[in-house]
Amino acid sequence: MKCGVRFCGGCNPRYDRGKALEKIKEQLTDVDFVHAAEGEAHDLLLVIGGCTNCCASYDQFETKLGILKMWDKTHIDQICDEIEKKN
């Protein structure tokens, strides 16, 4: 599965968004995480916000199985579960 990742811009993040992605990658070694790019097909899109506003833009990206959003480090396990279910 190819999962596109879109970060918010990180103006005032309440946790380390980059480390959160690393933890998700460690749990899901069979998923191919790439930075979301326009014109590319992604099976799934993961939006990683730094706060509850989760203001990242993502309408410009294509996804087959939908969009998952997280904005807190406590969401990591839940996000992993949801990605696994779709995988």
Residues 15-34 within binding reach of other proteins (CB under 8 A): 17-18
Question: Three-state SS string across the chain, please?
Answer: CEEEEEECCCCCCCCCHHHHHHHHHHHCCCCEEEECCCCCEECEEEEECCCCCCCCCCCCCEECCCEEEECCHHHHHHHHHHHHHHC
What's the min distance (Å) between Cβ of 9 and other proteins? 2
Q: Residue 17 or residue 75: which is nearer to other proteins going by CB?
A: 17
Stretch that binds other proteins, among 10-18, 25-33, 62-70, 71-79 (CB under 8 A): 10-18
CB of 38 to other proteins, least distance (A): 8
